């Protein structure tokens, strides 16, 4: 759960730190130029530029999988093949400089192919269900299938290759339960939505940064975290067979955050005439959502929480020996309790004695309260005072 909550903050941080590289990725000419460069030594890094079909085919087989490569319309091949092989996944960038057709007969891993420039026509299992992908879209090739891609001359794609076992284990960790059925993505993903934007930006930045000797992948301790981010981001931002359950868990996490924020506001200004709607507005959710968030977090309703918080503040003032001129009625009204009979009843239910008893105990002898019914003094923000 904690990893899920951190995902957006951590990915935004990486995008910010590596922002200059991200903007370079937006120019397809620079993509090709960088792919043609010479890189410093790096474990798992492959970077090949070739005009030879056999060499390009052998490189594809070594990095990704056995692939048939055919140059179409008498084009001249100018292949740029770059990949960074990490323990859990392979991240790469490919272009061919000519119209080509690539075909694979047996796919063992998940491949997320993200178009950066040009277009690709993707088919699965003998030509069924052709889908055209352009910038902002990705095609998914799943384990157990076969497929082919027709690349336009100016087509450039990012490849994300993830082993099924890795994706499965990450899914189980995020759902916090065993997963017995298959994880299935649709064949076409929209990676340009607001939800997916940060994830796509992260993929682009890391693809660019992977070729730099001083980049993030040069730090071995960062590799595991980056892999988790890429895989979790894919599962959190894209539709799949477990997406509804994922959304439910995300909503639960968001509800916990909304509850804590609202409680923090009440602790900071308990004297303010809060309403549920005003608290919801401060937190940025609807009133109904905030009420449900409190219920899901095992809290009383927002207004009940506020009343109990104020009753504890009354207790504190009535227990203050220095305030000799204080009256129960004055303190009650100060904290918003107008009906004194009802106030006294609520005070006794929560704290185990009448407010007048608290005052007499404080001024006459050491203050003892019935601890079998009294809740702790003001609870820490985000938690309900224990019963």
204 lies in the same domain as 265: no
- Whether 229 and 259 map to the same domain: the answer is no
Q: Is residue 383 part of a domain?
A: no
* Residue 279, domain CATH: 1.10.10.60
CATH number for the domain spanning 113: value is 2.60.120.10
Q: pLDDT tier at 40 (50, 70, 90 boundaries)?
A: very low
pTM for the model stands at 0.58
Q: Tokens 């323990």 map to which residue?
A: 87
Residues 308, 339 within the same domain: yes
DSSP string, 303-328: HHHHHHHHHHHHHHHHT-TT-TT--H
Does some domain include residue 384? no
- Domain assignment present for residue 375? The answer is no
Which residue range(s) make up the domain with 176? 2-241
pLDDT tens-digit readout, 281-305: 898 888 888 888 898 877 899 999 9
Does one domain contain both 144 and 212?
A: yes
Distances (CA, A) of 150 to 91, 100, 142, 290, 297: 21, 6, 18, 50, 51
SS3 content of the chain, % helix, strand, coil (to 5): 45, 20, 35
Q: How confident is the model at residue 212 (pLDDT cuts 50, 70, 90)?
A: low
Is residue 371 in some structural domain? Answer: no
Which of these, 104, 107, 79, 108, lies nearest to 94 by C-alpha position? 79
If one counts the domains in the chain, the total is 2
The yes-or-no verdict on residue 316 having pLDDT over 90 is no
Instruction: Tell whether 52 and 189 lie within a shared domain.
Output: yes
Residues 198 and 63 in one domain: yes
Do 207 and 279 fall into the same domain?
no
**Model confidence band, residue 213 (pLDDT cutoffs 50, 70, 90):** low
């Amino acid at each position: 759960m904690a990893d899920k909550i951190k995902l957006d903050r951590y990915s935004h941080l990486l995008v910010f730190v590596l922002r200059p590289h991200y903007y370079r990725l937006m120019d397809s000419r620079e993509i090709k130029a960088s792919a043609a460069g010479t890189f410093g030594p790096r474990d798992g890094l492959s970077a090949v530029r070739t005009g030879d079909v056999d060499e390009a085919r052998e490189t594809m087989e070594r990095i990704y999988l056995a692939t048939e490569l055919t140059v179409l319309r008498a084009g001249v091949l100018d292949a740029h093949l770059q990949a960074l092989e990490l323990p859990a996944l392979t991240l790469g960038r490919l272009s061919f400089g000519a119209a080509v057709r690539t075909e694979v007969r047996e796919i063992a891993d998940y491949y997320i192919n993200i178009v950066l420039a040009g277009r690709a026509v993707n088919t699965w299992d003998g030509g069924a269900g052709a889908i055209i992908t352009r910038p902002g879209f990705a095609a998914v090739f799943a384990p157990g299938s076969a497929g082919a891609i027709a690349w336009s001359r100016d087509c450039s794609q990012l490849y994300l290759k993830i082993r099924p076992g890795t994706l499965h284990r990450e899914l189980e960790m995020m759902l916090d339960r065993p997963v017995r059925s298959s994880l299935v993505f649709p064949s076409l993903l929209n990676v340009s939505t607001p939800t997916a934007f940060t994830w796509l930006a992260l993929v682009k930045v890391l693809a660019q940064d992977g070729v730099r000797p001083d980049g993030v992948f040069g730090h071995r301790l960062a590799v595991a975290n980056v892999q988790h981010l890429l895989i979790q981001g894919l599962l959190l931002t894209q539709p799949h067979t477990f997406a509804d359950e994922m959304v439910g868990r995300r909503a639960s996490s968001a509800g916990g955050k909304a509850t804590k924020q609202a409680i923090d506001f009440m602790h900071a200004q308990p004297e303010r005439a809060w309403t549920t709607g005003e608290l919801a507005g401060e937190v940025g959710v609807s009133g109904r959502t905030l009420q449900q968030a409190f219920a899901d977090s095992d809290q009383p309703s927002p207004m009940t929480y506020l009343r109990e918080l104020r009753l504890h503040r009354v207790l504190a003032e009535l227990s203050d020996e220095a305030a000799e001129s204080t009256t129960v009625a004055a303190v009650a009204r100060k904290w918003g309790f107008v009906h004194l009979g009802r106030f006294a009843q609520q005070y006794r239910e929560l704290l185990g004695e009448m407010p007048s008893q608290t005052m007499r105990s404080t001024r006459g002898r050491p203050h003892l309260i019935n601890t079998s019914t009294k809740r702790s003094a003001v609870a820490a923000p985000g938690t309900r005072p224990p019963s």
